[in-house]
A and B are shown apart, each in its own frame.
Chain A
Amino acid sequence: MTVLSPLIEIRNLTRTYNIGRTALHALKNVSLTIEPGEYVAIVGTSGSGKSTLLNILGLLDRPTEGTYRIRQQDAGELTDRQRTTLRNKEIGFVFQEFNLLARATARRQAELPLFYAGVSRKESRRRALDALARVGLADRADHRPEELSGGQRQRVAIARALVNSPSLLLADEPTGAIDTQTGEEVMTLFEQRHLEGLTLVVVTHDREIAARARRIITLRDGAVISDERRPAPVAP
Chain B
Amino acid sequence: MRLLRYFPLAVENIAVRKLRSILTMLGVIIGVASVLTTLGIGRGASADIMQQIGSEGLTLLLVQSGSMFDEIRTSDRPLTMADVAALSDRSLHPDIVQAVPLYRQYIFPGAGNNTGFLEVVGTTAAYAEIHSLELAQGRFLTETEIAQSTKSVVIGADVVQRLLAGTDAVGQSLRIDRQPYTVVGVLKRQGWGRFGNLDGSAIIPLAVAQDRLRPSFTAHRHRGEYTVSEIHVNAASIERANAAARQIEQTLRLRRALTADEANDFTIDNQAWLLERVNSVAATLTAFLAGIGAISLLVGGIGIMNIMLVSVTERTREIGLRKAVGAHNRDILLQFLAEALMLTLVGGLIGIAISFGLAEVVESFSTPDFPLVVLIEPGSLAAAVSVSAACGLLFGLYPAIRATRLDPIEALRHE
Contact = CB atoms under 8 A, between A and B. Distances in A.
A117 B324 CA distance: 13
A55 interface: yes
A99 B322 CA distance: 10
Given A60-B408, A95-B412, A103 B16 contact: yes
B327 interface: yes
A116 B328 contact: yes
B179 to A, nearest CB: 95
Contacts of A21: none
28 contacts: A60-B323, A60-B324, A60-B409, A60-B412, A61-B409, A80-B328, A81-B328, A84-B323, A84-B326, A84-B327, A85-B328, A88-B325, A93-B324, A93-B325, A99-B317, A99-B320, A99-B321, A101-B318, A102-B318, A103-B12, A103-B16, A112-B325, A113-B325, A116-B322, A116-B328, A116-B331, A117-B326, A160-B325
B329 interface: yes
Given A60-B409, A99-B412, A103-B16, A87 B326 contact: yes
Contact of B326 (A95, A102, A113): A113
A181 B47 CA distance: 79
Contacts of B5: 115
B7 to A, nearest CB: 13
B329 A80 contact: yes
Contact of A85 (B320, B326, B408): B326
Give chain A's interface secondary structure class: helix
Contacts of A58: 324
Interface in A103-148: 103-104, 112-113, 115-117
Contact of B324 (A87, A101, A103, A115): A87
Contacts of B412: 60, 95, 99
A164 B329 CA distance: 20
Q: How large is the interface on A (under 10, 10 to 19, 20 to 34, 35 or more residues)?
A: 20 to 34
A84 B328 contact: yes
Size bin of chain B's contact surface: 10 to 19
Given A84-B327, A99-B317, A112 B322 contact: yes
A69 B241 CA distance: 83
Nearest to A100: B321
Contact of B321 (A85, A88, A101): A101
Nearest to B327: A116
**Interface centre among A61, A89, A115, A164, by most B CB within 10 Å?**
A115
Contacts of A115: 5
A106 to B, nearest CB: 15
Interface in B306-350: 317-318, 320-329, 331
B30 to A, nearest CB: 29
Contacts of A95: 412
A177 to B, nearest CB: 14
B325 A87 contact: yes
Given A88-B326, A116-B326, 7 more contacts: A88-B325, A99-B317, A99-B412, A103-B12, A103-B16, A116-B327, A116-B328
Among all A-B residue pairs, the 3 with the closest Cβ atoms: A88-B326, A116-B326, A113-B325
